[in-house]
C-alpha cells in the first residue's frame, strides 16, 4: 500500500489514495500503523475516496490513531488538498470535498498555503450529542470538585472551549482528562484552552479526543475564534498561535462561513506491505 506522510503545523497524518488502490483498514490495523515506535506514526489517518455526490470532487475520511472514525480535521483538510495537488489527482485551484457530516471547499493560495472554507460554526447544542439539554452557550461542568465555565461549538466535530489567563500554566491534561471522562459528552469532545492576547490574536492549546494534546488543531482554532467572536472578545480576523505554528481564522459572524488559512507540508512518500 502506497501512502504519504504529511503534517499541518506538526499535526501529522498518513494519507492514502483509495482511488487507485484498495485499502479498508480495521481499527486494529490503524492502531498498529499509528504506533510511532513500530509503525508509521501519525495523529490521524486520512483517506481519499471517490465522491458519492456529483456536487463534490472527492470524499474525505478521517480516523484517529485509536481507529475511531471522526467527522472533521482542519489541519488534515489542508494536507488532503496538497496531497491531491502533488499526486496530480486534481488541477483545480478550488476543490469541493464531502466529509462524514460536512462539506469543505479547499482553495490553493500559493506554494503550501491553503485556505479552507470550514462552513459556519454550529452553536446549536441539539446538533451536538450531549447526555442532557443545555440551554445556553456558556455553561458550567463540574470537574475536579469545581465548576468550570465552558463554551460548546461544532466546527464539524465537537469542541469545548475554555478561556484561561496563561496558556503555559493551564493544567491542560488534568482538566481535559476529567472532561473527556464526563458523561455529558456522549461521543467525546475536543478541549481547547484559549488565552486572548488582544482582539486579533490568541494563543491556543488543544487536547483532541482519543489522541491527547497535539501540536496543532485546525478545527480547534476555528472553534476558539468562533467562541471569542460570539462573545465579543475578538474581531473578525484572528491570528492563532499554536505550539506547532500559526493559523489565521476569518469569520464575519452568524450566517457566514468561517475560513481557515495555514500551511501544509509533505514529508515523504512510502509503501508498506499489509
Q: Which of 52, 108, 53, 54 is nearest to 77 (CA)?
A: 108
Is 73 annotated as catalytic? yes
Choose, from 73, 79, 150, 160, the residue flagged as catalytic: 73
Is 217 annotated as catalytic? yes
Choose, from 79, 150, 217, 222, the residue flagged as catalytic: 217
Catalytic residue list? 73, 217
Amino acid at each position: 500500500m502506497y501512502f504519504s506522510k504529511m503534517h499541518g503545523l506538526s499535526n501529522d497524518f498518513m494519507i492514502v489514495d483509495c482511488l487507485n488502490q484498495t485499502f479498508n483498514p480495521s481499527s486494529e490495523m490503524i492502531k498498529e500503523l499509528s504506533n510511532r515506535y513500530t509503525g508509521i506514526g501519525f495523529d490521524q489517518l486520512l483517506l481519499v475516496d471517490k465522491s458519492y455526490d456529483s456536487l463534490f470532487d472527492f470524499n474525505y475520511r478521517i480516523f484517529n490513531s485509536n481507529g475511531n472514525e471522526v467527522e472533521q480535521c482542519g489541519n488534515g483538510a489542508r494536507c488532503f488538498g496538497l496531497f491531491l495537488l502533488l499526486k496530480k489527482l486534481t488541477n483545480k485551484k478550488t476543490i469541493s470535498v464531502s466529509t462524514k457530516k460536512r462539506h469543505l471547499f479547499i482553495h490553493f493560495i500559493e506554494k503550501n498555503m491553503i485556505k479552507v472554507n470550514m462552513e459556519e460554526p454550529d452553536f446549536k447544542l441539539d446538533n451536538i450529542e450531549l447526555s442532557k439539554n443545555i440551554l445556553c452557550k456558556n455553561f458550567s461542568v463540574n470537574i475536579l470538585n469545581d465548576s468550570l465555565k465552558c463554551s460548546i461549538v461544532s466546527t464539524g466535530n465537537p469542541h469545548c472551549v475554555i478561556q484561561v489567563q496563561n496558556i503555559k500554566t493551564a493544567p491542560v491534561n488534568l482538566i481535559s482528562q476529567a472532561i473527556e471522562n464526563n458523561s455529558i459528552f456522549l461521543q467525546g469532545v475536543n478541549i481547547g484552552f484559549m488565552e486572548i492576547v488582544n482582539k486579533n490574536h490568541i494563543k491556543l492549546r488543544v487536547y483532541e479526543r482519543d489522541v491527547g494534546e497535539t501540536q496543532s488543531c485546525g478545527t480547534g482554532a476555528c472553534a476558539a475564534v468562533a467562541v471569542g467572536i460570539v462573545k465579543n472578545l475578538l474581531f473578525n480576523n484572528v491570528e492563532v498561535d499554536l505550539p506547532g505554528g500559526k493559523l489565521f481564522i476569518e469569520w464575519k459572524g452568524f450566517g457566514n462561513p468561517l475560513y481557515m488559512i495555514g500551511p501544509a507540508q509533505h514529508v515523504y512518500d512510502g509503501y508498506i506491505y499489509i
